[in-house]
Amino acid sequence: MRQEDHQETWQIIGSTARTGKSVAYLHIPFCENHCLFCGFYQNPWHTNHSASYADAMIKEIKAEKDSPLQASGPIHAVYFGGGTPTALESTDLCRIIEAVRHYLPLASDCEITIEGRIFSFPLEKAKACFATGANRISIGVQTFETKLRKRLGRKVDGDQAQAFLRDLVALDQGAIVIDLMYGLPEQSLKSWERDVEWVTITKLALTFSPIMGGALFLPPTGAAAPESATSTI
């Protein structure tokens, strides 16, 4: 699509009422680092993005509140994705959640999901999200095997990841979902089984992501991931 056609196309979309059950997706397009397995990285995160991006998103949500696209409803699920939504400052993330609840025609049982990573997501921020109205948190763990996590560029080891998730589940304020990957280079069947077993006894919801042959290349064992490519989960 030509750039000069964007506004006209958006006006057409905005003037079209939704039908049936709907889901709203809010994109936070920043990441603190580039995860080695991710092909979607675009914008590096800087703390001064937080308030300005939240302001712009809230302004847009409010401006479109009476449009046929936004006002026709109800909306049954809202998903904050990215990028890394939990990179936003707690106050700014909660301001967007509040705007969503105020300006979108949410169903009474609407599911509001915050996608996040452990490194930039302290428990207090999770509590604030729940208190503001989020009821589902999705964390990209990928594996609890510390050796594999190091090769992926993870800054939090497996024990720290498990401790965080235990605390998150113990809050008992919403659904907790994690992603696990299988087929990682040098990932054994036993390692995969341990990951799944831990999730089972901790009562987490789980999604699986297979790695297709030849799709992921990691640095040699013992070599650090490039700084420009490290993840911060």
The answer to whether 204 and 177 have CB atoms below 8 angstroms apart is yes
Residue 231: the pLDDT is: 33
Q: pTM to 2 decimals?
A: 0.84
Residue 2 resides in a domain: no
Residue 46: the pLDDT is: 79
Name the DSSP letter for residue 188. -
Residue 9 resides in a domain: no
Residue 141 resides in a domain: yes
- For position 117, which CATH number holds? 3.20.20.70
Question: Would strands 136-142 and 30-31 be described as parallel, antiparallel, or unpaired?
Answer: unpaired
CA distance 224 to 227: 8
Residue 190 resides in a domain: yes
Q: Cβ–Cβ contacts within 10 Å for residue 72, how many?
A: 14
How does 193-215 read in b/e, with b if 16+ C-beta sit within 10 Å?
A: eebeebbeeeebeeeeeeeeeee
Residue 217: closest CA among 158, 145, 142, 151: 151
Residue 223: the pLDDT is: 46
Residue 114 resides in a domain: yes
Question: Would strands 22-28 and 30-31 be described as parallel, antiparallel, or unpaired?
Answer: unpaired
Residue 214: the pLDDT is: 39
Per-residue pLDDT of the chain (233 residues; tens, 9 = 90+): 787 788 889 888 889 999 888 999 999 988 877 677 676 667 777 788 999 999 999 999 999 999 999 999 899 999 999 888 999 999 999 999 999 999 999 999 999 999 998 988 999 999 999 999 999 999 989 999 999 988 887 789 999 999 999 999 999 999 999 989 988 888 999 999 999 999 888 877 656 566 544 344 444 445 444 333 333 33
Please tell me the total count of domains within the chain.
1
CA distance 16 to 85: 28
Residue 105 resides in a domain: yes
The answer to whether 27 and 87 have CB atoms below 8 angstroms apart is no
Helix (H) or strand (E) holding 208: strand 205-210
DSSP 3-state of 118? coil
Residue 8 resides in a domain: no
Residue 97 resides in a domain: yes
Which domain range does residue 175 map to?
20-229
Residue 202: the pLDDT is: 83
